[in-house]
Structure 1
């Protein structure tokens, strides 16, 4: 049995945080910046299996056996931990909604980043019976991982737990430390002027379009912001119909998701009125990096492209979806997401103190504070050994520079949506979620609204 990975077996790994990692670290110092992934495991699973699997993960990935050390001079480093481990917390509950409350708690519980950047919660129902099941919740700091990387870790956690290899350190691949995404941007997308252009492009569009943002009746201070989540599911049959309609209309599912969210924003800030909603769309840019990270490499590889989506009684859902697609495609073609990450070396503050001023400015002036994080269809097994898997779910803290993150993952024949909102900044979260779901399920016929 592998209980932990000792420092002597870990490859040497220590480096300064990259500018984009340092940005998330500064944000995390103000309010937690966590990501969670949850899956339900049907069958018998022991805490010892999870601890062995967690140790296998630390043996494989340098990022998971590191913490962040800051000497106080604005130079935080990722450094190997003397006794790296991912803690496993297990609790018993017969309440089927316990996992939701635990995710809410995980999103607002800050990491002591000096001691590690990941943790696992296992919520057990009906242990020792044929109906035993586990809701596994993996929480990782956004400083080091994005949502797609998080799914990789959760999948490997389950596979290691089910595999005899988790009891055999020699069978575990130990990866070499991989450079941060900031260092992999192609030369053509680098440079201060490209960064300035990317920044001014969104600001100029916002000046013209004056997009609306989500905001509650009572301002919520940066230090007081806490994320809560409501959940909705698109089942297999309506999901298949949605995908078919999107293909007919020539739009992506992400485009329709962003359009539906924009309409819900409009209803929340200007009921029955017209306007433009600001939407952020994270875009996976792994294929453009050099060298290209493999599919199982961990890191933050999804910078956000801003979009501006019209809403109102006369606006077609399909026209809005096509607008989202055009804006994302233009941003990728112009490589603005690459330039934004490459340019963070010019714009990221050095210290938490100076970062507070920048964060406050971004919070007040950014043209959007809602993002639609759609991972699409995830290759996540439905069976591992004797276990059946279901209910794959993604959530994320909003931290202090956004109000709502709509996190979507499609697996096991369904689309699961987590509406992650800052408590107090979205006044009617259940209504907001219901409206988005209604747009997805009861959408207009694309043939009649294709104009």
Structure 2
């Protein structure tokens, strides 16, 4: 996908964006980000803010057009209004509402590619920011949430310049580095059956004091919070799920590459590469050695060279002519996974209104459609660690066991 075409009428989908678009046509894989703010605003205020957000980020109101000669591209439609739904918080939990949103697909042929659900009571508002995965990743969604709250609080923000997909922006530098080949893979994972039942969705809060203790211990052990959380999920899952005890567990980690270029920082688009590691030892229950090993396994994917080589690999396997069936084959037989740990890291809002108003953040909540997939979303705000668990085939008691594993990690 190395033909840089970019006009005011939209832009081509990048490699990862095309995969998300193709996979979504087999099984919806849009995502939800949830945030709690300490106040309420009128529908008119939200409408004005969302309209302004769309002007600033035109891809929110885009549709996706499949152009036979050049592949799929985003085409902004300024007249499209992003939907807003308001409901009362308390009649149903926000987790139930988020699960319902994950059942409701986007029509990419007509657009738009984002919507907003607001759950209100007298004390607070839960914002459910729902986005198709082709024009946006989880880190990008946190940036848009920051902008939305600034706008609804009355701040004016200018339009942002459009940014191409990362592999096109960095094409000259990428050409200086090798392109790896995909490993042959005998694994295979079916897609889950599509039903009208929403996914299982639950959350876990690790309070600030314990989170700070975990961060300090990770530093002492030479690992990361991501490595520790992934290890805790593996230890917990193997204590509860027989299948994970009988074979290696395939773990997917979205790796943020927004640091490769300053223009990526606040841009709409998918600025991540998928990393897959395999936990081979079902008997391994030592959390700190596992966390350290997981960190080292991810090192080839991080940093500038790792990100560029990852983009080379994506560009080599995802051509504009890639069929939906070819994309599905990549998901089910080349890159299948059992567990996704998608970590937004330590969130720092740029806007003073966002930093003041946002009390908690959860997500991303998402499902790729693979059978048996377990997805853990991770977000840390004000030193409070929030885990979200999304799956259509839940492992009963998983988050409780994860919390116990994290507590025990501080005792060894």
Smaller-chain TM-score bracket: 0.7 to 0.9
2:402 is aligned to: 436
CA distance 1:367–1:334, change in 2 (3 Å): farther
1:144 is aligned to: 135
CA distance 1:136–1:358, change in 2 (3 Å): closer
Matches within 5 A, 1:36-435: 36-70=32-66, 75-95=71-91, 97-113=92-108, 114-126=110-122, 131=123, 133-163=124-154, 165=155, 171-185=156-170, 187=172, 189-190=174-175, 194-196=179-181, 199-200=182-183, 203=184, 221=192, 223-224=194-195, 227-270=199-242, 273=245, 276-289=248-261, 292-313=262-283, 315-332=285-302, 335-348=305-318, 354-356=323-325, 358-360=327-329, 362-364=331-333, 366=335, 368-380=337-349, 384=353, 388-401=357-370, 403-421=373-391, 423-424=392-393, 426=394, 428=395, 430-435=396-401
Answer whether contact 2:27 2:194 (CA < 8 A) is retained: yes
**Per-residue CA distance 1:52-96 (angstroms, 9 max, x = gap):** 11111111112223221236788322112140332211122433x
CA distance 1:411–1:385, change in 2 (3 Å): closer
Return 5+ residue gaps in structure 2 as ranges. Answer: 1-6
Answer whether contact 2:163 2:264 (CA < 8 A) is retained: no
**Per-residue CA distance 1:246-299 (angstroms, 9 max, x = gap):** 12212111110111122234334448957642211211112234xx32532222
- Using the alignment, how far apart are the partners of 2:235 and 2:378 within structure 1? 17
CA distance 1:381–1:232, change in 2 (3 Å): farther
Give yes or no for the alignment of 1:16 onto 2:12.
yes
Aligned length: 403
1:183 is paired with a residue of what secondary structure?
A: helix
Shift in Å at residue 328 of structure 1?
Answer: 1.0
- Taking structure 2 as the reference length, what is the TM-score of the superposition? 0.86
- Using the alignment, how far apart are the partners of 2:201 and 2:341 within structure 1? 14
**Per-residue CA distance 1:336-380 (angstroms, 9 max, x = gap):** 55334333344236578x423541463245353311111111013
CA distance 1:277–1:189, change in 2 (3 Å): farther
CA distance 1:313–1:444, change in 2 (3 Å): farther
CA distance 1:158–1:32, change in 2 (3 Å): same
Answer whether contact 1:266 1:277 (CA < 8 A) is retained: no
- Using the alignment, how far apart are the partners of 1:15 and 1:385 within structure 2? 30
Return 5+ residue gaps in structure 1 as ranges. Answer: 1-10, 166-170, 447-451
- Taking structure 1 as the reference length, what is the TM-score of the superposition? 0.80
Larger radius of gyration: 1
Aligned-residue Cα RMSD (Å) equals 3.1
